[in-house]
Amino acid sequence: MTVASRVGEATHDNPIPWIADHIRRFEETGGKPRPGVNDLLLTTRGRKSGLLRRTALAYVRDGNGAYVLTASNAGSGRHPAWYLNLLATPEVTLQVGTATLAATARPATAAEAARLWPVIVAAMPSYETYRTATTREIPLVLVTPDRP
C-alpha cells in the first residue's frame, strides 16, 4: 500500500511559498523545473495530522536503485517535517518526472552517509553551506522504490 493509496484522499502541498512554487513548476515542466538538477516530489503521511504532505526535493541516485535525499532544511537547526514524517511512516510516494512510484524510505547509515555526502555536494554545492550553518547532523535518506 502506498502512502497515497486511499481513494479520493487529498494531498497537501508544502505551504512555504518558494517550495509551493517549486512544486507548481515541477508539475508544469513534467518534472524538470531546474535544468541540470534532479528534482522529485515526495509525499509522506503527516506524523501528527495523518494527512498526505507533498514537498519538492533535489536528489541523487546511489547506484543501487535508491534515491538519496538530503534533510538539510536549508541549514536550519531543526529537521524538516518531511524527514520526521518518514521516520514515523517510511512508506512514501515519489514522483520522478511523470512517473509515480511507491517507495520505502530510511535514514542512511553513517557509512552510507560518509560515502554519499561528496556525491550530494558535487550535485548541489549549497548543501555544504547548509552543513556548516547548523550544529545538527544533516541526515541523508535512501528512498527505494517498492518495484524496480
pLDDT tens-digit readout, 36-85: 889 999 999 999 999 999 999 999 999 889 999 999 998 888 999 999 99
What gap in Å lies between CA 1 and CA 136, rounded to an integer? 33
Average pLDDT over residues 98-108: 95
- Count how many residues are written for the chain: 148
For domain 11-145, say whether CATH 2.170.120.12 is its number. Answer: no
Helix, coil or strand: residue 11: strand
> In the structure grid, which three cell numbers stand for residue 17, read together?
511559498
